[in-house]
Amino acid sequence: MNDPTGFPAHGTPPGALLAELDERLAADPDVHGARLFGLVYPTGLDDLEDLLAAVNRRYLFHNALNPFKFPGIAALESDVVAWTSDLLHCTGDGGGSMTSGGTESILMSMLVNRERARVRGVDRPQILAPVSAHPAYAKAAHYFDMEVVRIPLDAAYRADVAAAAELIGPATAVVVASAFSYPYGIMDPVADLAALAATHGAGCHVDACIGGFVLPFLERLGVDVPPWDFRVPGVTEISADVHKYGFVPKGASVVLHRDADWFGHQVFLYDDWPSGMYGSPGVAGARSAAPIATAWAALRHLGIDGYVDIARDLLDVTRRFRTALDAIPELAVVGAPIGPVMAFTTTGPDLPVDGVGAAMDARGWHLNRIVDPPGLHLMLSPAHAGVLDALVADLRASVAAPGEADGGPVRYS
Ligand SMILES: Cc1ncc(COP(=O)(O)O)c(C=O)c1O
């Protein structure tokens, strides 16, 4: 018998192990169940999932660290970067790489922006980022000895450009704009922030970790998407996550630089050790090839047409949810979210939103929370179409009979 806290003394046959894992899976939410509204992005497309599982299996043990040893994997990565560049209009001389996720893409961009600022003689470069920007910018500042200066939001929950103009200065390395933000699903005024950055010789990073694989397709469907990608002068870097609305398993994001030389600053090279030249474009050394290959396969399998079809379904489920929510007078959406990510709150003091959240929890829904304003938050995926009626019915019931919130701190979910 193995001591459960010690290193397993004896082996366990696969059947027993898999049975145990199946039991353990019950402790976590069902990733296909469409009751989560973030963290996972279920499409309900079995063909796509089967393909991704098959691709994953083929590349399970490959290592993307060494492009000379594994030129095939390097070529897949270079395709994903080129296709994403094309999608986001990074024409000509741009460069970039795949990373493990949005955070790493942001880290690599902040590092490059720091290096650019240091060349200008800035000692402690600053990241000028909206209050609603993802914590990855604070993490970058923490890792790279930078400082975050927060841009307050305007009444529409967008970065306040006038306030940014007051805050920008010689130490500003980069201005951040979200397209769109996690807490509210709202677009920052990218063109204005990029112009401001350019006037001050700073970079402008557009965080399209969520929007990168949604906005181009919404635009093709005729949605009025304000300019946000490399067509906007002054935008220097963009992060876009394939593992969010690109619908591939975790571990796949793309960071792009308008200028290939800047990508060069992202790459770490070292040869002062006994094993010769070592190079790597991101935080990781050894890198799993499976996320690269699955991203490649999803983009190639779906193509623009496939993503537009998915975006159409996403738009449909989003509009249906918005219509249902607008019909509940006790609830209101926060600001004007552009797509499938949004927050909502209660319209009067008599109905605490955390009580509505608690009642939804009790009904088995995993709605996320926001603190400013206190609200509930969701990221819709195509698979939510199948549960929308139940979701809305439970939301109505939860408004009518709110639960008791635990009063604990709000955690990012
Ligand atoms: C807008 C935005 N940027 C960056 C990130 C970080 O991405 P990841 O969790 O893949 O590191 C997220 C994650 O939700 C996000 O919503």
Report the predicted TM-score, pTM, of the whole model to 2 decimal places. 0.97
pLDDT at 84: 98
pLDDT at 413: 63
Question: What are the extents of the domains in the chain?
Answer: 55-301, 303-400
What is the distance between the alpha carbons of residues 31 and 42, in angstroms, rounded to a whole number? 7
At 12 the three-state DSSP class reads coil
Under 8 Å between Cβ of 253 and 100: yes
Identify which of 182, 377, 381 to mutate to test ligand 1's pocket (most ligand atoms within 8 A of the CB): 182
Burial bucket for residue 147 (CB in 10 Å: 0-12, 13-18, 19+): middle
Return the number of other C-beta atoms located less than 10 Å from residue 240's C-beta: 31
Burial bucket for residue 68 (CB in 10 Å: 0-12, 13-18, 19+): exposed
Does ligand 1 lie within 6 Å of residue 210's CB atom? yes
Does ligand 1 lie within 6 Å of residue 182's CB atom? yes
> In the numeric block, which tokens belong to residue 28?
């976590």
pLDDT at 406: 78
The C-alpha R_g of the chain, in whole angstroms, comes to 22
User: How many angstroms separate the alpha carbon of residue 134 from the centre of ligand 1?
Assistant: 6
CA geometry: angle at 412 spanning 409 and 413, to 5°? 120
Asked whether the CA dihedral 332, 337, 339, 341 is positive or negative, the reply is negative
What is the distance between the alpha carbons of residues 169 and 157, in angstroms, rounded to a whole number? 23
What is the distance between the alpha carbons of residues 277 and 100, in angstroms, rounded to a whole number? 23
Identify which of 39, 41, 103 to mutate to test ligand 1's pocket (most ligand atoms within 8 A of the CB): 103
Whose Cα sits closest to atom 4 in ligand 1?
102
pLDDT at 408: 76
Q: Residue 203: name the closest of 156, 245, 262, 161 by CA.
A: 262
Residues in the chain, overall count: 413
309 phi and psi angles, rounded to 5 deg: -60, -45
Under 8 Å between Cβ of 256 and 237: yes
Under 8 Å between Cβ of 173 and 203: yes
404: number of CA atoms within 13 Å, CB side? 1
What is the distance between the alpha carbons of residues 236 and 260, in angstroms, rounded to a whole number? 11
Whose Cα sits closest to atom 8 in ligand 1?
102
User: How many angstroms separate the alpha carbon of residue 413 from the centre of ligand 1?
Assistant: 11
In CATH, the architecture of 55-301 is: 3-Layer(aba) Sandwich (3.40)
Helix (H), strand (E), coil (C) string for 361-409: HHCCCECEEEECCEEEEEECCHHHHHHHHHHHHHHHHHHHCCCCCCCCC
> What b-and-e string marks burial along 201-211, b requiring 16 or more CB atoms within 10 Å of the CB?
ebbbbbbbbbb
Under 8 Å between Cβ of 213 and 340: no
What is the distance between the alpha carbons of residues 305 and 141, in angstroms, rounded to a whole number? 39
What is the distance between the alpha carbons of residues 70 and 61, in angstroms, rounded to a whole number? 12
User: How many angstroms separate the alpha carbon of residue 104 from the centre of ligand 1?
Assistant: 9
What is the distance between the alpha carbons of residues 224 and 338, in angstroms, rounded to a whole number? 9
pLDDT at 344: 98
What is the distance between the alpha carbons of residues 122 and 107, in angstroms, rounded to a whole number? 19
> Which ligand 1 atom is nearest residue 105's CA?
11
Does ligand 1 lie within 6 Å of residue 178's CB atom? yes
Average pLDDT of the chain to the nearest whole number: 96
For the chain, residues with pLDDT lower than 70 are 1-2, 413
Per DSSP, helices labelled H in 168-289 are: 190-199, 215-220, 260-266
**What number does CATH give the domain 303-400?**
3.90.1150.10
At 87 the three-state DSSP class reads helix
What is the distance between the alpha carbons of residues 330 and 397, in angstroms, rounded to a whole number? 12
pLDDT at 30: 92
User: How many angstroms separate the alpha carbon of residue 61 from the centre of ligand 1?
Assistant: 26
The H or E element spanning position 278 is: strand 278-280
Whose Cα sits closest to atom 6 in ligand 1?
102
Helix axes 136-144, 102-119, angle to 10 degrees: 50
